């Protein structure tokens, strides 16, 4: 079969490209050789749905300014090209410079679908100590690139943060946090670390002069994990005392559809 993009095809010279149908091998070729693309218009269909390991990691298109993706379906099935577009937070350094320079009293933060190391996430959260409500969703982020890790959970512990596997902290992370919502896309996680973190941030006395405020609401959504029986039962007394505690598993999400 003749390759969709022959070796002599001048992909590196193109600044704009429109593609209708593509398979995974040519998606990799397109990403590796189109180093000067500024505009890419592509149908959201991949004719071969099997994604090989050597295609998963594609170079970052630093010059790309416009990406247009049109949804198409074949025989009622959508074979998407989006797994090929794994975009890291390209300007995280600039964002952190803005945060450090501004020192604004941020109280609500929502982060979704961002490939960011857990160490960078901890670094960000360490600079927003006024945060009251934090939501972190790693949907469509490969589990190995998710910021939701055991290290992040350990860093959120109210008093064991100095033993975290990430960088040393000068004080508790998010000391004013009242609500925490996490959505995790992987299949394996340290539930005990989650339990310990929740227990460390809870007190039935909302008026106590603790270094860390009481966590009033916690939601953990495991999109791909089967329910682990009994692992969060030790938190029942905390829920009865007033915390809004929600743990959702894969089967819970399937029933709600």
Report the pLDDT value the prediction gives residue 54, as an integer from 0 to 100: 40
At 4, the pLDDT band (50, 70, 90 cuts) reads low
Name the average pLDDT for the chain.
81
140: pLDDT confidence band, cut at 50, 70 and 90?
Answer: confident
Contact 207, 194 (CB under 8 A): no
pLDDT score at 166: 75
The neighbour count for residue 189, using CB atoms within 10 Å, is 19
| Region 96-106 average pLDDT | 83
Out of 3.40.1000, 1.10.287, 3.80.10, 3.90.550, the CATH code matching 92-256 is 3.80.10
Of residues 139, 135, 136, 180, the one with CA closest to residue 157: 180
Contact predicate 148/137, CB 8 Å: no
Percent of the chain having pLDDT more than 90? 43
99-103 mean pLDDT = 80
Tell me what pLDDT residue 153 has: 95
Q: Which of 27-36, 76-85, 120-129 has the lowest mean pLDDT?
A: 76-85
Whole-prediction pTM: 0.67
Using CA atoms, how far apart are residues 239 and 36, in angstroms rounded to an integer?
A: 55
Long-range contacts of 21-28 (CB under 8 A, 24+ apart): 21/45, 21/47, 22/46, 22/47, 22/81, 23/47, 23/48, 24/48, 24/50, 24/51, 24/52, 24/55, 24/84, 25/55, 27/55, 27/58, 27/81, 27/84, 28/54, 28/55, 28/58, 28/84
- CA dist., res. 238 & res. 244, Å (int): 9
Average pLDDT (62-86) is 58
CA dist 155 and 166 (Å) reads 7
Which residue did the predictor score with more confidence, 62 or 58? 62
The pLDDT of residue 156 is above 90: yes
Domain ranges of the chain: 11-84, 92-256
- Whole-number pLDDT of residue 237: 94
What is the number of H-type helices and E-type strands within the chain?
Answer: 8, 8
Q: What is the mean pLDDT of residues 77-92?
A: 57
Residue 61: predicted pLDDT: 61
């Amino acid at each position: 079969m003749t390759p969709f993009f022959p070796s002599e095809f001048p992909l590196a010279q193109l600044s704009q490209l429109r593609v209708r149908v593509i398979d995974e091998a040519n998606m990799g070729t397109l990403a590796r050789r189109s180093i000067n693309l500024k505009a890419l218009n592509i149908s959201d269909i991949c004719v071969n749905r099997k994604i090989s390991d050597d295609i998963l990691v594609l170079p970052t298109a630093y010059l790309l300014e416009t990406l247009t993706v049109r949804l198409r379906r074949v025989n009622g099935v959508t074979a998407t090209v989006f797994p090929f577009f794994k975009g890291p937070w390209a300007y995280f350094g600039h964002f952190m410079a803005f945060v450090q320079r501004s020192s604004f009293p941020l109280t609500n933060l929502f982060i979704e679908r961002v490939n960011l190391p857990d160490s960078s996430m901890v670094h960000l959260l360490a600079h927003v100590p006024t945060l009251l409500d934090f939501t972190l969703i790693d949907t469509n982020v490969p589990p190995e690139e998710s910021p939701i890790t055991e290290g992040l959970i350990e860093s959120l512990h109210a008093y064991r943060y100095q033993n975290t596997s990430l960088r040393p902290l000068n004080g508790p992370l998010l000391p004013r946090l009242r609500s925490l919502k996490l959505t995790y896309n992987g299949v394996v996680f340290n539930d005990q670390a989650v339990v310990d973190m929740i227990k460390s941030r809870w007190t039935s006395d909302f008026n106590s002069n603790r270094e860390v405020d009481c966590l009033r609401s916690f939601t953990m959504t495991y999109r791909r994990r089967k329910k682990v029986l009994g692992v969060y039962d030790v938190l029942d007394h905390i829920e009865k005392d007033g915390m809004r505690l929600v743990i959702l598993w894969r089967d819970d999400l399937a029933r709600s559809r």
